[in-house]
Amino acid sequence: MTAAVDTDPVLGFDDDAVPAYLWQVLASLGGLTSGGGPVEAGMRIDRIAVLEKIKAAVGAVQAAETVKFAQAQVAAQKDARVHPRRLGRGIAEQLGLATKTGPWHGSRRLSLARDLWFDLPGCYALLARGEISEDVAQLVATETSHLDPELRRHVDHQLVAAGLHQMAPKEAAAAARKLAYQADPAGSLDRGRTARKDRRVTCRPAPDTMSLRSALLPVEHGVACFAALRTTPTP
């Protein structure tokens, strides 16, 4: 398919041509699911690497579409004179349906998309080129979430300059955390104090009559609980 006039700064296709193009891509990738015939291991790993880049680039495109969808929904709701407190209602639910997840995941996707689109342009560009994964992008967004937009973009620029595309996820998170602290030490300390207010213990069912219990605790409490569990005899 020949690309039309660039009316979209992200996709590079005329809006009407995008769905057809994406369906063609999906069909082409679907044809590769059998793995093909005998191939050298080196070629297989090269394919895996390229597919990982494609996943990241698709994530970037999806983030852009998510932001634009949310903007369109809010604009439509304003035109319909929806009460300001209700603006944005239903967006997470629709995203959850579109991604076959749920409202919580839809809201999480929207939050990450907005973070990348508006406040982390360097990180977004790396994602669009397939040079970092969505996991790394999420870690950077999380570690810088307490910064104001200007400081966040500054940290974003520093991360890219420091070689974010060459960092493993844990290394990227640590680098983002360090730069965020340097940019706003007081805000980083406040974030730690605020996080303690969100401590909680949850329990949910698991297969085979089992259950899963998880806890979000201050580090000293978490270590103490773990030590107590290890020293408690099993009934």
Residue 12 covered by a domain? no
Number of domains in the chain: 2
What local confidence, expressed as pLDDT, does residue 217 receive? 63
Share of the chain above pLDDT 70, in %: 84
What local confidence, expressed as pLDDT, does residue 119 receive? 97
What local confidence, expressed as pLDDT, does residue 194 receive? 60
Q: Are residues 131 and 183 in the same domain?
A: yes
Q: Are residues 104 and 213 in the same domain?
A: no
* pLDDT tens digit sequence for 7-63: 344 445 666 788 888 999 899 888 888 767 788 999 989 999 999 999 999 999 999
Q: Are residues 121 and 70 in the same domain?
A: yes
What local confidence, expressed as pLDDT, does residue 81 receive? 96
Residue 26 covered by a domain? no
Q: Are residues 216 and 117 in the same domain?
A: no
Residue 17 covered by a domain? no
The helix or strand, by DSSP H or E, that contains position 190, with its residue range, turns out to be helix 185-196
Q: Are residues 145 and 43 in the same domain?
A: yes
Q: Are residues 75 and 147 in the same domain?
A: yes
What local confidence, expressed as pLDDT, does residue 234 receive? 61
Q: Does residue 116 surpass a pLDDT of 70?
A: yes
Q: Does residue 168 surpass a pLDDT of 80?
A: yes
* pLDDT tens digit sequence for 169-228: 999 999 999 999 999 998 887 776 665 555 667 777 877 778 877 777 666 667 777 677
> In this structure, what DSSP letter does residue 215 have?
E
* pLDDT tens digit sequence for 125-149: 999 999 999 999 999 999 999 999 9
Residue 197 covered by a domain? no
What average pLDDT does the segment 103-112 reach?
96
Residue 4 covered by a domain? no
Q: Are residues 213 and 141 in the same domain?
A: no
What local confidence, expressed as pLDDT, does residue 63 receive? 97
Q: Are residues 130 and 223 in the same domain?
A: no
Residue 118 covered by a domain? yes
What local confidence, expressed as pLDDT, does residue 113 receive? 97
Residue 15 covered by a domain? no
Q: Which long-range contacts (CB under 8 A, 24 or more apart) does 126-130 make?
A: 126/160, 126/164, 126/165, 127/56, 127/57, 127/59, 127/60, 127/63, 128/10, 128/56, 128/57, 128/60, 128/61, 129/53, 129/56, 129/57, 130/52, 130/53, 130/54, 130/55, 130/56, 130/57
What local confidence, expressed as pLDDT, does residue 231 receive? 79
Q: Are residues 119 and 211 in the same domain?
A: no
Over the range 64-77, which residues count as b (16 or more CB within 10 Å of their CB) and which as e?
Answer: bbbbebbeebeeeb
Q: Are residues 120 and 209 in the same domain?
A: no
What local confidence, expressed as pLDDT, does residue 2 receive? 36
Q: Does residue 4 surpass a pLDDT of 60?
A: no
Q: Are residues 66 and 182 in the same domain?
A: yes
Q: Are residues 212 and 100 in the same domain?
A: no
What local confidence, expressed as pLDDT, does residue 122 receive? 98
What range does the domain containing 208 cover? 204-228
The helix or strand, by DSSP H or E, that contains position 206, with its residue range, turns out to be strand 200-206
